[in-house]
Amino acid sequence: MKSYALFLGCTIPARQPNYEISARKSLEKLGIELVDLDNMTCCAPPPLRSIDLKTSLALAAYNICLAEEADLDIVTLCTGCFESLAMTNSLLRDNMKLREEINGILSAVGKEFKGVKEVKHYLQVLVNDVGLTRLKREVLKPLDNLKVAAFSGCHLIRPSKYLKFDDPERPRIYDSLIEVLGAKSIWYRNKLRCCGGLLRGYADDIALAIARDKIVNAVSAGAECIATLCPFCFLTLDLGQMLIKSTYKEEYNLPIIHYAELLSLSLGVDPKELALEIHKIKIDKVLEKIGW
Amino acid sequence: MSTIRFMEEIRRRYGGETIALCYQCGTCTGSCPVSKTSDRYNPREIIRLALLDNRQEVLYGDAIWLCASCYNCQERCPQGVEIAEIIFTLRNLAIREGKIPKLYEEFANNLVASGRLAPISKFLEKKRAEYGLPPMKPVDIEAVNKIFSATGFLELFSRSKGEKS
Amino acid sequence: MEEIKVGVFLSDCGGQLSKILDFNAITSFVKSIPGVTFVAQANEFWRGDGLKIILEAIESRQVNRIVVAESIPKVSEVAIAKAVEEAGLNPHFVEVIDLKDHCAWPHRDSPLEATEKAKAMLLAAIEKVKLMEPIERAEYPAVKSVLVIGGGIAGMQAAEDLAEMGFQVYLIEKEPFLGGLAARANRFFPTDDCAICIQSPSSLKTVANTSRKCVYRSGISELPNLKIYTSSKVVKVEGAPGNYRVAIEQRPRYVEIEKCIACNLCSNTCPVEVPDEYNAKLKTRKAIYITTPLVYPPAYVIDEKACKFHECAKCVEVCPTKAIELDQKPKQVILNVGSIIVATGFKEFDPSVIKEYHYDEYPDVITNLEFARMIDSFGPTNGAIIKPSNREPVKHIVFVQCVGSRDRRWNPYCSSICCMISLKHAIFVKETNPEIDVTICYIDIRTTGREHEYYYERARELGVKFVKGRPAEIIHDPATNKLIVEVEDEILKKFLELEADLVVLATAMVPPEDAKELANILGLEIDSDGFFKEYNAKLRPTETMHRGIYICGGATFPKDAPTASLHAHSAAIKAAKFLMNGKIVKDLKVAVVNEDYCGDCEFCPVTCPYNAISLVPKDNGRLVAKVSDLLCEGCGVCVGTCPVGAIELKHLKNNQILAQIRALLSINGSSKPLVLAICCSECGHAAVDSSGMAMMSYPANVRVLRVPCAGIIQVQHILEAFRAGAQGVMIVGCKPDGCHHGVGAQKAQRKVELAKRLLSEYGVEPERLEMLNLLFIEGDKFAEAAKKMTELVESLEFIKLP
Ligand code: SF4
Ligand code: SF4
Ligand code: SF4
Ligand code: SF4
């Protein structure tokens, strides 16, 4: 059985039990063991990078060191955490001068980055460790041609130079993981474009306009839901529709569902166990379609 | 006042190295979700202003805080300019001048206090138990703060606060 | 062995030098040197009475080594050597030094020191000629025949020039038809005429009643001494300049060119249809086909990948002249040529890799070359501008510039012709279909050639829209089947979504895929962008490091047709000049290998910039380096590379280098510590000349040793200088990327670094050794550095290496 250090990050435990539960349950069903390590701290996301790039590298490297000491690869759920940790991992592996500098900082807490462990996103575990063939076999409740607007969020694929997850302009992995559940990953305009989530709290008007674009594009392409991988995207698009309603007087009622939730449902996890009440836009239509 | 050109100041910092390669093609702005939505933000223009040493306008303006860090521009720049990293570098410089948006200040406070972006409350812990989720693991606040003092983060942060008041 | 008698001839430049230098002291010093049997002084020695003195000394005093101190050495050397040779002496027994620019002028403020330096310079020259051995002159036969590789515009022009000059020419083309990229381009700028039009051979009166003709009726194929091989490529080259044996492989055409009457019956009958690559896949063609009716040879060809051969053989039956032969096999042809011209051109970059433009996904995103096929009335749509996806007419066209050019991810260079191609196309659209809306998205519009800016002007007047901004993405809306080009209008700072039926990508122009392979076969260099590298971009733009092999046209960089023509004529002239005497005459100033020492390490064969060295087996099976006398340019880079000292130059043997170093440092005469500057004969020595000519002063303790190329320098030469008393050493070479022998300056740099490390180990300050890279016009930098080095070593302890 393959084991991973689960990197939860800050937002998921604080606001999205639906993501955490569905991720844990789906991986458990697929025979992946998750280990919760002590002392994991913030992943050093863009807001910290905005304050100080070197501090972010050090903090991200600190988290990686904890996994190195436990001799475990890391799996993240949030794509933001994935980006921070994977980018740091790649940078410090290749740039020895930078590594030396960061290790100088880490020596203050008795740590040293060695670059011997991988940082993976949940999807990579699914596609590489479980594999599409097995996943297909495990599906108990196929998603019945549900028209899914796949939205990976930016930080799963970009910056591709460091993340090397998938082709940055034509990613396929995520879509194939959706399709293996029996759903249809549809084309919609500007599919790979950002949701604007990181501007929330600083420029809410712009953030909302970007989010609205995303919703409109998905709806006009006939999407029955948007499948997300990042707690920020989820919030921006789910809660965002409430704000769109009050600001633009437009109502879309497009369910936003984490991929982990879709996977859990298709693996036969009872929706009642999934804390689905977190969704501001109710997903009953989707549940119905799948046959729950 | 710094004595070197602003462009040089950026280029010598970690993250800003590629700025001089920019030849103003506009691919970044054309790729930018923010520019598409708002005329308050244009990454090409920020780079141009920086290349022409408009330090004040760039660091004290609102624009550098409007990047959504989506890296779409950086992915496509034909000159390999690391635009998103440059924006971070500019923000780093602005903060060193004491210009820090409230949101980021709160974020930094939380981080210093709890090692997390948002602290986990007792209420949340209870909720977790109800959902059958394992209790949250502790954060080594002391270690996090040691890292912060080794990088100069704490000092930077108190200075920017001090200058503002 | 004959006794060595050195004659020394001191020119005082009409009395100018004797005002500074003490000629009496110099003369008595020189006389005291063993081997010197004659010393003379005059105003000048390189012509007139002065030259007669030298000749008389040879005649009556049996002087057999000549040292001349003259003031304009570069020219006087030639004149004196020539006269000496006529007098029956080996011309390489002459050594000319410059006491004016290298001694009197720069040190005019310290005449006593200058005089002592002059003695040292003369001593070095004398020691050198004493050790000089005769250099023979060799003659090699040269075949008066040329192979031209590539049947595009450049190749055809070069072939025609040479054939008309009387050389036997072989023109080979890898495609089944001549014409290259140009033939597909439809029209050319700035002439707006047909792309397939070339100059008619003037020697063929019958066809020359007009000066220009389409390739197929130009008469080029009728030149009696021009032989054309299509579907052919070079597979092997052996031999040497003037006499190559080239193996070419010709793919079968399956149609006899001499019999085919291009009646099209075969093609009508052929049941196999495949996408027509030549025509941008906008139509299909048969397995037996001809690209357009306007080609040479005007004969059909069978596409091997598509044809069903004997399973079908329908065409064989219908062919009225029995021209089709399905059993043809590839042929090898061996050609004996004296020279080779590479004119392999360039090709369009495949823009699929720029994924955000979706060229590989959206049929309505095409390239400029594909667009050129579309607007050709002989082309796949007979000139109609259509949407390939549904063949409907087009209302909006957007051109996207710099696709894969000026892009550090793909091709960092500007392809230089794409702006003009797009302008040409935009104008054509507007002039033929004014109702079509045309927009060009650009980063910069580059119209640098003659009349090119007028295209830009004309396009604006015709209403072509220009948007400054490089598109970020091309989107296809499946609902409307329209394309949307997302771009920032930088001038208005506005985000645009341009709707288009057709997007034309101005793709980069890149080297053909087989350029590297051909470069390997020919031993040519490829530059960092993948194009064939010329010897010198400014002065020898169509020559290569391999004499006898020339390059022209797009093979060296993307070019427009006028420039490619010009280039082709230049290459033709160079090849003609090389072969016209039917022989190559050469003084053997070359490297020689001491086979007993050579350890077959492969250093020199790899390093020689002229590919002159190969490893050959000896009787005992051991490999030793062998220098081709014909290819060797005598630069000495191999000497600097050989780890065991097994290779040296005939014209500057190691003992001559060492003797000169010792001689130059044997006399000081000044209170300052000695500094040796080892200078390459090219820019390095010239910089020393120029500092003297400009009367810039530097101290006389600085001594100059001239070597052919900085690449000859060995660490041990540097150490020897310190042993002989130098307190500082300067190595003066060309600019690293301007080295006349390619790699010499870079090699020297590495030697300097190595020597610095060694010196540190000996406890010697590494700053005592310095490398300079200078141009002739940088004499001031030499004088400056010489002063600085002197000051530096003055401030340091005196050292003596054991
Ligand atoms: S895409 Fe790159 S080169 Fe173009 S304007 Fe932006 S930063 Fe400059
Ligand atoms: S990283 Fe910032 S500047 Fe670049 S495209 Fe995204 S939001 Fe725009
Ligand atoms: S033999 Fe080949 S070329 Fe001839 S008709 Fe048949 S398929 Fe066509
Ligand atoms: S002297 Fe120069 S050209 Fe001749 S073999 Fe040596 S390296 Fe080659």
End-of-domain residue from the set C493, C509, C525: C509
- Number of the ligand closest to the Cα of C255: 3
Check C478 against A187: CB less than 8 A apart. Answer: yes
Q: Is residue A45 assigned to a domain?
A: yes
Confidence of residue C209 (pLDDT cuts 50, 70, 90): low
Q: Is residue B18 assigned to a domain?
A: yes
Q: Chain centroid to CA C12: how far?
A: 42
| Whether residue B155 sits in one domain with residue B112 | yes
Ligand 3 is surrounded, with C-beta below 6 A, by C 269-270, 272, 286-288, 302, 307-309, 312-315
Mean pLDDT of all residues in C100-110: 94
d(CA C101, CA B69): 64
Q: How far is B24 from chain C (nearest CA, A)?
A: 8
Residue B20 belongs to what domain range?
A: 6-96
Confidence of residue C250 (pLDDT cuts 50, 70, 90): very high
Check A189 against C478: CB less than 8 A apart. Answer: no
What residue in A sits closest to C478 (Cα-Cα)? A187
**Which three-class secondary structure state does DSSP give residue C332?**
strand
User: To the nearest whole number, what is the mean pLDDT of chain C?
Assistant: 94
- Cβ of residue C485 lying under 6 Å from some atom of ligand 4: no
Question: How many domains, chain A?
Answer: 2
| Whether residue B17 sits in one domain with residue B90 | yes
Partners of residue A217 in chain C, C-beta under 8 Å: none
| Whether residue C695 sits in one domain with residue C554 | no
Q: Is residue B1 assigned to a domain?
A: no
Q: Is residue B153 assigned to a domain?
A: yes
End-to-end CA distance of chain A: 30
| Whether residue C758 sits in one domain with residue C677 | yes
Is residue C604 over pLDDT 60? yes
| The token pair that represents A186 in the structure block | 């549809």
pLDDT under 70: residue ranges of chain B: 1-2, 158-165
Residue B80 Cα, ligand 2 centroid: separation in angstroms?
14
**Which three-class secondary structure state does DSSP give residue A73?**
strand
**Which three-class secondary structure state does DSSP give residue C397?**
strand
**Which three-class secondary structure state does DSSP give residue B50?**
helix
How does B99-121 read in b/e, with b if 16+ C-beta sit within 10 Å? bbbeebbebbebbbebbbbbebe
Number of H helices, E strands in chain B: 11, 0
Residues near C431 by beta carbon (within 8 Å), at least 6 away in sequence: C462
For residue A215, give the nearest of A179, A256, A247, A171 by alpha carbon.
Answer: A256
Q: Is residue C612 assigned to a domain?
A: yes
End-of-domain residue from the set B67, B96, B125: B96
Q: Is residue C56 assigned to a domain?
A: yes
| Whether residue B20 sits in one domain with residue B91 | yes
Check B150 against A193: CB less than 8 A apart. Answer: no
Check C470 against B25: CB less than 8 A apart. Answer: yes
| Whether residue A56 sits in one domain with residue A85 | yes
Partners of residue C488 in chain B, C-beta under 8 Å: 26, 29-30, 35, 42, 44
Sole residue written with tokens 């108190």: B158
Check C493 against B39: CB less than 8 A apart. Answer: yes
The CATH number assigned to the domain holding C405 equals 3.50.50.60
| Whether residue C6 sits in one domain with residue C128 | yes
Check A189 against C477: CB less than 8 A apart. Answer: yes
Residue B73 Cα, ligand 2 centroid: separation in angstroms?
6
Mutate to test the interface with B, among C485, C490, C494, C507 (most CBs of B within 10 A): C490
Q: Chain centroid to CA A219: how far?
A: 22
Q: How far is A52 from chain B (nearest CA, A)?
A: 5
| The token pair that represents C48 in the structure block | 């007139």
| Whether residue B81 sits in one domain with residue B22 | yes
Residues near B119 by beta carbon (within 8 Å), at least 6 away in sequence: B110, B113
| The token pair that represents C362 in the structure block | 């959206």
| Whether residue C341 sits in one domain with residue C193 | yes
Q: Is residue C260 assigned to a domain?
A: no
Residue C541 belongs to what domain range?
A: 137-251+330-346+511-583
- Cβ of residue B24 lying under 6 Å from some atom of ligand 1: yes
| Whether residue A67 sits in one domain with residue A187 | no
Check B91 against A50: CB less than 8 A apart. Answer: yes
End-of-domain residue from the set C544, C561, C583: C583
Confidence of residue C1 (pLDDT cuts 50, 70, 90): low
d(CA C577, CA A182): 74
d(CA A98, CA A159): 19
Residue nearest to atom 8 of ligand 2 (CA): B32
Check B111 against A45: CB less than 8 A apart. Answer: no
| Whether residue B63 sits in one domain with residue B10 | yes
- Residue C747 is predicted with a pLDDT of 95
| Whether residue B145 sits in one domain with residue B106 | yes
| The token pair that represents C138 in the structure block | 């060799």
- Cβ of residue C646 lying under 6 Å from some atom of ligand 4: no
Q: Chain centroid to CA B157: how far?
A: 13
For residue A8, give the nearest of A29, A36, A45 by alpha carbon.
Answer: A36
d(CA A75, CA A40): 13
- Residue B164 is predicted with a pLDDT of 42
What residue type is B133 in one-letter code? L
| Whether residue B91 sits in one domain with residue B117 | no
- Cβ of residue C545 lying under 6 Å from some atom of ligand 4: no
Residue A225 belongs to what domain range?
A: 137-290
Which value, to the nearest 10 degrees, does the dihedral of the CA atoms of residues C148, C151, C154, C155 take? 10
Partners of residue C475 in chain A, C-beta under 8 Å: 189-190
Question: How many domains, chain C?
Answer: 6
What secondary structure does DSSP assign to C445-469, as a single string? ----STTHHHHHHHHHHTT-EEEES
End-to-end CA distance of chain C: 35
Residue B68 Cα, ligand 2 centroid: separation in angstroms?
6
Which residues share a beta bridge with C171?
A: C148, C228
Q: What is the DSSP letter of A129?
A: I
Ligand 1 atom with the smallest distance to the CA of B29 is: 6
CA distances (Å), origin C186, targets C41, C382, C555, C566: 72, 12, 21, 20
The CATH number assigned to the domain holding B12 equals 1.10.1060.10
Whether residue C475 lies within 8 A of chain B, CB to CB, comes out as: no
Mean pLDDT of all residues in C548-571: 96
Q: Is residue C365 assigned to a domain?
A: yes
Supply φ then ψ for residue C264, to 5 degrees.
75, 0
Q: How far is A284 from chain B (nearest CA, A)?
A: 20
Q: Is residue B147 assigned to a domain?
A: yes
Question: How many domains, chain B?
Answer: 2
Q: Is residue C257 assigned to a domain?
A: no
- Cβ of residue C635 lying under 6 Å from some atom of ligand 4: yes
- Residue C619 is predicted with a pLDDT of 80
End-of-domain residue from the set B96, B126, B145: B96
What residue type is B61 in one-letter code? G
For residue C504, give the nearest of C277, C348, C283, C275 by alpha carbon.
Answer: C348
Q: Is residue A130 assigned to a domain?
A: no
The CATH number assigned to the domain holding C95 equals 3.40.50
Q: What is the DSSP letter of C255?
A: B
- Residue B159 is predicted with a pLDDT of 54
d(CA C460, CA C34): 82
Q: Are C711 and C748 in contact (CB under 8 A)?
A: yes
- Cβ of residue C630 lying under 6 Å from some atom of ligand 4: no
For residue C294, give the nearest of C199, C196, C223, C381 by alpha carbon.
Answer: C196
d(CA C172, CA C170): 6
The CATH number assigned to the domain holding A23 equals 1.20.1050.140
Q: What is the DSSP letter of C69?
A: E
| Whether residue A145 sits in one domain with residue A58 | no
Q: How far is B143 from chain A (nearest CA, A)?
A: 6
End-of-domain residue from the set B96, B127, B152: B96
Q: Are C242 and C526 in contact (CB under 8 A)?
A: no
d(CA A127, CA C684): 63
The CATH number assigned to the domain holding C595 equals 3.30.70.3270
Check C475 against A189: CB less than 8 A apart. Answer: yes
Check B72 against A192: CB less than 8 A apart. Answer: yes
- Cβ of residue B22 lying under 6 Å from some atom of ligand 2: no
Mean pLDDT of all residues in C478-499: 96
d(CA A244, CA A227): 19
Q: Is residue A128 assigned to a domain?
A: no
Mutate to test the interface with A, among C473, C482, C486, C495 (most CBs of A within 10 A): C473
Residue nearest to atom 4 of ligand 1 (CA): B25
Q: Is residue A132 assigned to a domain?
A: no
Block mean pLDDT (10 aa), chain A, length 292: 94 94 97 97 95 97 98 98 98 97 97 97 97 96 95 96 95 97 96 95 96 97 97 96 97 98 97 96 94 85
Q: How far is C488 from chain B (nearest CA, A)?
A: 5
Q: Is residue A171 assigned to a domain?
A: yes
Q: Is residue B51 assigned to a domain?
A: yes
Which residues share a beta bridge with C212?
A: C199
Where does A30-95 have alpha helices with state H? 46-51, 53-69, 79-94
Q: Are C425 and C374 in contact (CB under 8 A)?
A: no
